[in-house]
């Protein structure tokens, strides 16, 4: 399995817009073939820093999502809310609790 962490920094005035967008697409992402889980995390010391944490059954599943219209449309809108460039990391998941 693949763990994908995407760290984003938002313009303060765009946080609520992003949260509404995420609420709208989260079930579509969770139901995308190969998505095992999806979580949204917010830094307790800086509310502008929000991350998505997702687990995919394989790198191919993650790449299929990343090449989908769902991702393309969601990411295009999300990027317009950033105050800084996003950082994404993928890691092999060794143990799931």
Arithmetic mean of pLDDT, 80-95: 95
Q: Say yes or no to pLDDT of 61 above 70.
A: yes
pLDDT of residue 97: 66
Instruction: Give tens-digit pLDDT for 18-58.
Output: 999 999 999 999 999 999 999 999 999 999 999 999 999 99
Exposure b/e, 79-97, CB count within 10 A at least 16 = b: eebeeeeeeeeeeeeeeee
CATH architecture of 2-88: 2-Layer Sandwich (3.30)
């Amino acid at each position: 399995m693949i763990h994908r962490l995407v760290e984003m920094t938002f313009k303060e005035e765009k946080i609520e817009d992003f949260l509404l967008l995420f609420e709208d697409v989260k079930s579509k992402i969770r139901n995308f073939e190969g998505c095992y889980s999806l979580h949204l995390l917010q830094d307790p010391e800086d509310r502008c820093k929000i991350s998505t944490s997702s687990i995919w059954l394989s790198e191919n599943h993650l790449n299929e999502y990343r090449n989908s219209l769902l991702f393309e449309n969601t990411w295009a809108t999300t990027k317009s809310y950033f105050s800084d460039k996003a950082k994404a990391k993928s890691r092999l998941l060794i143990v799931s609790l």
